[in-house]
Structure 1
């Protein structure tokens, strides 16, 4: 795995060629098997990531933050890539701001662990998304400097720090190699199924 990208191919393909010999249309079958394996690996990765970090529902796949680039018969490899950009901490908020009222943000980054951020506040931002609108979670710089576990901050603005949680790439890179150890076995399984479909 390199730079937040997980590759399916190379050594696995050589093994399939050794197993199959000179089957007619082998590249098409290998490509289809790679793509089915990549889809399986993406599902496994989503389950793994969501067990470690409480990303919102459909956050990872719905907007292709964990994306599969499929194989072709002319390019026998697939790649799963993860978004590098850090995630606004407001994505993990378990409460919402109320107009005209100060609301202390509560966030859940680790599943099942809800934390109140007494030194933080919701802040209107220029940009937003369908899920969070144009609201972020921020701290004043003097409070941020004293606050353990405030999270990575992307930038400061007029004495305020906008807070971020982990990126998809950080989590994916940390755990993918451990969670996708059976990728070679899965590819062989999918290839065998392709052979059965073609010659049954």
Structure 2
């Protein structure tokens, strides 16, 4: 048995293989981008099970870098610095972004109350051993009226300041804690999306 392949047929095969190779890379990039978007949504849900933050705020801190055909990598970046403890105030006007404070609010008679976790009760924040007296509110310079919970240091700090700003957990820290919980289902989701993209490319041939 003899099989002959003429030059034009060979060129068609090469063109088809080149098109498929390019399509596979494109499918990979698209599946990564769909997965990273879903990852942000699922991560936000898990993060909000750990810390008492609203969905819009968590989403605003999770920056997506999308994949391309030249760089098949997608990632989520989160700030490593701790969140202001005032974000966890039980006073929604202090915790949220709707109020732009010109001067700090007065201290409630019962003290400054915070609630970091979504479950359990609120606690009166008493400060720590580095400060003298009770913590109080201060409008942070260079912000759009953002209030922080601060205290006066008993000794000058390493940066030379007398005021200590209190922070809670960082979003990066919480994200690290929860991302392993969603890694397996997201890996399966990416595989499913890749298969769908490949099917779409094959139907286009």
Deviations 1:50-79 (A, max 9, x none): 1101124411222xx211110101111111
The match for 1:60 is 58
Deviation, 1:170, is: 0.7
Contact preservation (8 Å) 1:122, 1:137: yes
Which runs of 5 or more residues in structure 1 are unaligned? 1-21, 143-152
The match for 2:107 is 102
The match for 2:149 is 137
Deviation, 1:83, is: 1.1
Contact preservation (8 Å) 1:106, 1:116: yes
TM-score of the superposed pair, with normalisation by structure 2: 0.69
Contact preservation (8 Å) 1:155, 1:162: no
The match for 2:32 is 34
The change in CA–CA distance for 1:43 and 1:57 in structure 2 (over 3 A counts) is: closer
What is the RMSD of the two structures over their aligned residues, measured on CA atoms? Answer: 2.7
Higher gyration radius (CA): 2
The match for 1:89 is 85
Deviation, 1:192, is: 1.6
Contact preservation (8 Å) 2:104, 2:139: no
TM-score of the superposed pair, with normalisation by structure 1: 0.70
Distance in 1, matches of 2:165 and 2:178, equals 27
Which runs of 5 or more residues in structure 2 are unaligned? 1-18, 95-102, 127-133
Distance in 2, matches of 1:92 and 1:156, equals 27
Aligned length: 163
- Aligned residue for 2:146, secondary structure, equals strand
Distance in 1, matches of 2:189 and 2:159, equals 43
- Aligned residue for 1:139, secondary structure, equals strand
**Pick aligned residue for 1:23 from 20, 23, 40:** 20
- Aligned residue for 2:143, secondary structure, equals strand
